[in-house]
Homo-oligomer: A and B are copies of this chain.
Amino acid sequence: MKLSEIASILECSIADNDIDIVGINTLKDAKENEISFVSNSKYVKDLENTKAAAVIISENLASKLPANCIPLVTKNPYWSMAILSKYFAPPIEEETLPLPQIGTNSKISPKAEIANGAVIGDNCIILAHVYIGAKSVVGNNTVVYPSVTIYRDCQIGNECIIHANTVIGSDGFGFATNEKGEHKKIYQNGNVVVEDDVEIGSNTSIDRAVFGSTLIKKGTRIDNLVQIGHNCEIGEYSVMVSQSGLAGSTKLGRNVVMGGQAAAAGHLEVAPFSTFAARSGITNSIKEPGKTYAGFPLMGHRQWLKLQAKLARLIK
């Protein structure tokens, strides 16, 4: 897409040469042929090192861009990015892609739908009513139970088991909001990557990344009705018990255990081998590995027990 078209869509002017833009990305990850945006003062520090060809930016920050990076000045850069995201969203299905490629000895139900461009490995079992989207890849020896939906561009590893009616790759919950309170969808053009030996329960939702990947590392165990937001990262051998949830961009280290109905806010980092009792509510990053927590607000598990004892005394 020509930069001039983008400027026209966003109703702003560009001073400079009309280059080709192939995608949108964060300031950090944008390549020389991508456009980026800055909508939050937290990311201003990433401006000086960005490789993006152009950046959607508010007027007051435009001077901080590197010399070779073209500013697209708009009043609400986040809203502008939301508008633009739609133009870089691939179609849901692409009939022109090659027929799905199925490995040897895999058993695909004739009632499953494998979209063009998908690749299934060897010795897989794909049951009825499964949907595997365009360009998604499933490894070897993986079992996908009925009515699982895997959106396009996702990757599932070897030796995985995905239980019925789970969704992998649905859109992250992303939108910009204007001063009238109206929302504009931010198309989620990233994907989900599930590594080897992962088991995922039934009716669980794992959202695709807005940019890049939501990542479920090898050996993880995820139970039923679990929510994993866009751009999360689950460390190796972590365990998420039923009805627990992670808001967007939170990263768990390896062997983290989230008890039933436990939840974490977005953009946190949780140290390896942390354990969270059922219904814990995590709102800050955890730096020290190997501890056990409970409660909301979160505290050490022993502290929580002490607090409950104090409260019990209050009502006597």
**Which residues on A are within 8 Å of B, measured CB to CB?**
92-93, 109, 111, 113, 125, 127-129, 131, 143, 145-147, 149, 151, 161, 163-167, 170-171, 173, 175, 177, 181-183, 185, 199, 201-205, 207, 219, 221, 223-225, 227, 229, 236-237, 239, 241-243, 245, 247, 254-255, 260-261, 263, 265, 273, 278-279, 281, 296-297, 299, 303, 306-308, 310-312, 314-315
Q: Is the CB of B279 within 8 A of A92?
A: no
Residue pairs across A and B with Cβ atoms less than 8 A apart, 24 shown, are: A113-B146, A128-B129, A129-B129, A131-B164, A145-B170, A146-B149, A149-B165, A164-B170, A171-B199, A182-B219, A183-B237, A205-B224, A225-B225, A227-B243, A227-B260, A229-B242, A243-B243, A243-B263, A247-B260, A261-B261, A279-B281, A299-B312, A299-B315, A310-B315
The answer to whether A170 and B205 touch (CB under 8 A), given A113-B111, A164-B149, is no
A265–B203 CA distance with the chains assembled, in angstroms: 20
Closest 3 CB pairs of A and B: A149-B164, A113-B128, A131-B146
The reply to whether B303 and A315 form a contact with Cβ atoms under 8 Å apart is yes
Most buried by B among A146, A237, A273: A146
Q: Is there contact, CB below 8 Å, between A167 and B202?
A: yes
Cβ B281 vs Cβ A281 within 8 A: no
> Contact at A207–B182, with CB atoms within 8 Å?
no
Q: Copies per complex?
A: 3
State how many angstroms separate the Cβ of A101 from the closest Cβ of chain B: 18
Q: A202-B149, A260-B263, A310-B315 are in contact. Are A161 and B185 (CB under 8 A)?
A: yes
**In the bound complex, do residue A202 and residue B201 qualify as a contact, i.e. CB atoms below 8 Å apart?**
no
A295 to B149, CA, bound (A): 35
Q: How far is the CB of A276 from chain B (nearest CB, A)?
A: 14
Contact B92 A125 (CB under 8 A): yes
**Do A164 and B163 touch across chains, with their CB atoms under 8 A apart?**
no
Besides the known contacts A165-B166, A225-B225, A263-B278, 11 further A-B residue pairs in the complex with CB atoms under 8 A apart: A127-B131, A129-B131, A161-B185, A165-B203, A175-B199, A177-B237, A201-B207, A223-B227, A265-B278, A279-B281, A299-B312
List B contacts of A299 (CB < 8 A): 312, 315
User: Given the complex of chains A and B, what is the CA–CA distance between A177 and B220 in angstroms?
Assistant: 12
* Closest CB in chain B relative to A253 CB, distance in Å: 11
The contact of A149 among B145, B161, B204, by CB within 8 Å, is B145
Nearest CB in chain B: distance from A33 CB, A: 28
Shortest distance between the CB of A311 and any CB in chain B (Å)? 6
Provide the bound-state CA to CA distance between A315 and B167, in Å.
42
Report how far A273 CA is from B179 CA in the complex, Å. Answer: 13
Smallest CB gap from A204: residue in B: B203
Q: A167-B163, A173-B201, A243-B245 given as contacts; is B109 within 8 A of A129 (CB)?
A: no
User: Please, which residue of chain B has its CB at the minimum distance from the CB of A236?
Assistant: B181
How many angstroms from the CA of A311 to the CA of B241 in the assembled complex? 28
Complex: A113 Cα to B143 Cα, angstroms? 17
A300 CB → nearest B CB, Å: 10
